[in-house]
Structure 1
Amino acid sequence: MPVIRRNKIEPYSADQMYQLVNDVASYPKFLPWCRNSRVEIETERMMQASILMAKGPLNKWFTTKNQLIPGERIEMALVKGPFKHLRGIWEFKDRPEGGSEIFCNIDFDFAFGPAKLVLTPIFESIASSMIVAFSERAKVIYG
């Protein structure tokens, strides 16, 4: 099962970066592979949202239920979609010297046979590019 692990130091606070990652409704504005998104349920501690991924032959909706610790952590779990397994954790930690460090861990496996060989590297590329995309979005939003 593929696992993506990324981290990045940012000049912005953990809370600012958390807000960007948790703003699923804005994903189509800056994530090139996100054709559409919708938030279905949202409370202070939980969000259920769906995203339409579109890159190469991959054009699929998936839904996750996200447990939220505002400003600190987002834990994603698959509700439905083309995956056999999808789990992700975003962590946001302020640094004593200023700014923050963001950690992104995603493990996944596609549910269907031969297409899995094609779709796995595409999703690996999408997942790997996410932390950079959020960094670029932070520059646009926060300056």
Structure 2
Amino acid sequence: MTAAVDVSKAGISKTFTTRNTLTSNQSILMSLVDGPFKKLIGGWKFIPLSPEACKIEFHLDFEFTNKLIEMAFGRNLQRAGR
């Protein structure tokens, strides 16, 4: 599955597209298709706690194509990755 996300801040708007691969009940791997990044990889890991619950771990590794975009969006994405 692919997904596109539109983000804007301080008058700068960008769209990025990711390819998202689901491993049922285990994880979702996200990789960059297109957007303002040199690299963007990440994902969610679902760790069973009980039959009705799981812990979700999220990781995100990215690098922007230029400093202006990094200044506008970098902190927000860093916070999302924590």
Q: Identify the TM-score tier after normalising by the shorter chain.
A: 0.7 to 0.9
CA distance in 2, matches of 1:122, 1:93: 26
CA distance in 2, matches of 1:50, 1:115: 17
- Greater strand share, structure number: 2
Shift of 1:128: 4.3
Q: Which of 86, 92, 102 is matched with 2:40 structurally?
A: 86
Aligned length: 81
Match of 2:75, SS?
A: helix
Match of 2:16 in 1: 62
Match of 1:87, SS?
A: strand
Aligned counterparts, 1:61-140, within 5 A: 61-96=15-50, 99-125=53-79, 127-128=80-81
- Greater helix share, structure number: 1
Q: TM-score, normalised by structure 2?
A: 0.81
Q: TM-score, normalised by structure 1?
A: 0.50
Q: 5+ unaligned residues in a row in structure 1: which ranges?
A: 1-46, 130-143
Q: 5+ unaligned residues in a row in structure 2: which ranges?
A: none
Shift of 1:70: 1.6
Percent of residue pairs bearing the same amino acid type: 31
Root mean square deviation of aligned Cα? 2.1
